[in-house]
């Protein structure tokens, strides 16, 4: 897996992520200000409808750059991605002059039904064909500039209770998914506290750091569950998103720091950090700040917001740099241990540490590869109805990584990381011999 990750060329990697991540549908009530905009096509938001879909469209402060435009050439419509390609083809082949005239799109509101001298619309639209649609404004008058404030709310009605569900069809069960995972991490944190207490004689500073990471992950998932469930019910976030961003940010920083610290062997191999290892942290931590700012802008502006693509690129670039940077300390440690195994008397212990570090290196790479590439690939190939599966896949991979890290670096008298005396050296060489025999 590691080698295929390395074989992936950088550009296609970025491109894949960029294309794939466009498919994430955020669905909230959205307000958009359009000012003197000449664009022929303005996409607003994307949403996965069930058979009971609704769209509320409120336009206000409507004005045009020329006094009496042909209003039939202006309007809103819904369109799936596949049919959008067909519409483009129709326009190219001259079958239709304007996307609004195509029979493939679902017209929502044509401006020729606008009452004279009105400056606003309040329109309600029923969508009973389940699919993932994008709300688009078409302006088929080349010279015309349009200004307006648009409020769009897309939601599905629940089958029985007829309550509104503002989450897109494929992600409507996410609040429950996040809540379930937060319970799992809560259990892990409790188990870890118990372990720290039981093995308190062999506990190092890094073990408390690991506890902090798990607790932050729990809180992060809890806020995400509450945030999503609030959006599901009301269509807006109401502050839970702020808490979520704060915990995401802390969790991001501590997780990357933890991987660096474990990679350097800090606290159990040596009590200090070397200068170059400190430099890695000094690169990774500020970059995580940037990554989190980018994440906030990306989430809040939606896939068609201004500068969305720029921030997405910033985020991906920063993320890729961080992921590469955290691998260096592990590589340095492996190199040091290999040298030590040759020169030191305690060859066996060093070799076992080396094996564990190599394992950890592979697992970190697999974790990064899976959560970055495989998950985004999953997101693109799965139907909009099953978007939640990629979230579950990412969370399961993350959980596996946390469990692996905790299990291998748990406080334990006979953990080869902490083995120092002769007795343990002997035990280690016994085990190495055993492992050698198995390999033969």
**Chain residues in the site for ligand NAG (CB under 6 A):** 56, 58, 122-124
Minimum CB distance to ligand NAG, residue 124 (Å): 4
- Determine the residue with CB nearest ligand NAG: 122
Give the integer Cα–Cα distance in Å for 95 and 84. Answer: 14
Minimum CB distance to ligand NAG, residue 223 (Å): 28
Minimum CB distance to ligand NAG, residue 236 (Å): 12
Under DSSP, is residue 425 helix (H, G, I), strand (E, B) or coil? helix
CB proximity list for 439: less than 8 A, separation 6 or greater: none
Closer of 121 and 291 to ligand NAG (Cβ): 121
Closer of 60 and 310 to ligand NAG (Cβ): 60
Selection from 313, 321, 338 nearest residue 285 by Cα: 321
Minimum CB distance to ligand NAG, residue 241 (Å): 21
Closer of 112 and 122 to ligand NAG (Cβ): 122
Sheet with 106-110: strands ordered across = 41-48, 132-139, 74-79, 106-110
Closer of 123 and 342 to ligand NAG (Cβ): 123
Give the integer Cα–Cα distance in Å for 153 and 157. Answer: 13
Give the integer Cα–Cα distance in Å for 315 and 292. Answer: 8
Minimum CB distance to ligand NAG, residue 149 (Å): 11
Closer of 55 and 318 to ligand NAG (Cβ): 55
Closer of 58 and 86 to ligand NAG (Cβ): 58
Selection from 348, 204, 342 nearest residue 262 by Cα: 204
- 410 burial (CB, 10 Å; 0-12 / 13-18 / 19+) is middle
Closer of 108 and 419 to ligand NAG (Cβ): 108
- 111 burial (CB, 10 Å; 0-12 / 13-18 / 19+) is buried
Minimum CB distance to ligand NAG, residue 151 (Å): 6
Closer of 56 and 412 to ligand NAG (Cβ): 56
- The 10 Å Cβ neighbour count of residue 219 is 21
Minimum CB distance to ligand NAG, residue 126 (Å): 11
Minimum CB distance to ligand NAG, residue 137 (Å): 16
Give the integer Cα–Cα distance in Å for 195 and 409. Answer: 12
Question: Could you write out the DSSP letters of every residue in 198-237?
Answer: HTGGG--HHHHHHHHHHHHHHHHHHHHHHHHHHHHHHSS-
For residue 203, give both structure tokens.
Answer: 């506990």
């Amino acid at each position: 897996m590691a080698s295929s990750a390395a074989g992936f060329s950088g550009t296609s990697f970025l491109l894949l992520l960029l294309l794939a991540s466009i498919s994430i549908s955020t669905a909230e009530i959205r307000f958009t200000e359009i000012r003197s905009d000449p664009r022929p096509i303005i996409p607003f938001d994307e949403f996965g409808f069930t058979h009971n879909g609704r769209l509320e469209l409120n336009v206000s402060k409507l004005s045009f750059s020329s006094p009496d435009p042909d209003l039939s050439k202006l309007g809103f419509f819904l369109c799936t991605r596949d049919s959008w390609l067909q519409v483009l083809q129709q326009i190219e082949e001259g079958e239709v002059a304007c996307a609004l005239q195509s029979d493939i799109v679902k017209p929502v509101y044509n401006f020729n039904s606008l009452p004279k001298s009105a400056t606003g619309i309040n329109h309600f639209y029923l969508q009973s064909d389940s699919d993932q649609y994008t709300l688009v404004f078409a302006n088929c008058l080349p010279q015309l500039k349009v200004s307006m404030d648009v409020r769009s709310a897309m939601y599905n009605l629940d089958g029985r209770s007829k309550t509104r569900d503002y989450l897109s069809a494929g992600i409507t069960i996410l609040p429950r998914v996040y809540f379930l995972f937060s319970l799992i991490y809560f259990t892990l944190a409790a188990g870890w506290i118990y372990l720290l207490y039981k093995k308190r004689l062999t506990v190092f500073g890094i073990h408390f750091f690991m506890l902090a990471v798990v607790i932050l992950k729990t809180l992060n998932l809890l806020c995400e569950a509450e945030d999503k469930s609030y959006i599901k019910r009301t269509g807006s976030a109401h502050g839970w998103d702020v808490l979520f961003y704060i915990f995401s940010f802390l969790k991001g920083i501590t997780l990357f720091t933890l991987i660096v610290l474990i990679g350097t062997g800090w606290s159990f191999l040596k009590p200090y950090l070397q200068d170059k290892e400190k430099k890695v942290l000094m690169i990774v931590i500020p970059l995580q700040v940037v990554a989190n700012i980018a994440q906030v802008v990306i989430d809040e502006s939606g896939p068609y917001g201004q500068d969305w693509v720029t921030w997405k690129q910033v985020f991906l670039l920063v993320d890729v740099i961080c992921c590469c940077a955290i691998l260096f300390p592990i590589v340095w440690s492996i190199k040091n241990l290999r040298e030590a195994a040759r020169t030191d008397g305690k060859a066996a212990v060093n070799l076992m540490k080396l094996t564990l570090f190599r394992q950890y290196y592979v697992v970190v790479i697999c974790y990064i590869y899976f959560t970055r590439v495989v998950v985004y690939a999953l997101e693109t190939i799965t139907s909009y109805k099953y978007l939640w599966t990629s979230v579950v896949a990412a969370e399961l991979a993350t959980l596996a990584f946390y469990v692996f890290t905790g299990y291998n670096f748990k406080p334990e008298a006979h953990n080869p990381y902490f083995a120092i005396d002769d007795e343990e050296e002997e035990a280690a060489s016994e085990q190495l011999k055993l492992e050698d025999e198995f390999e033969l």
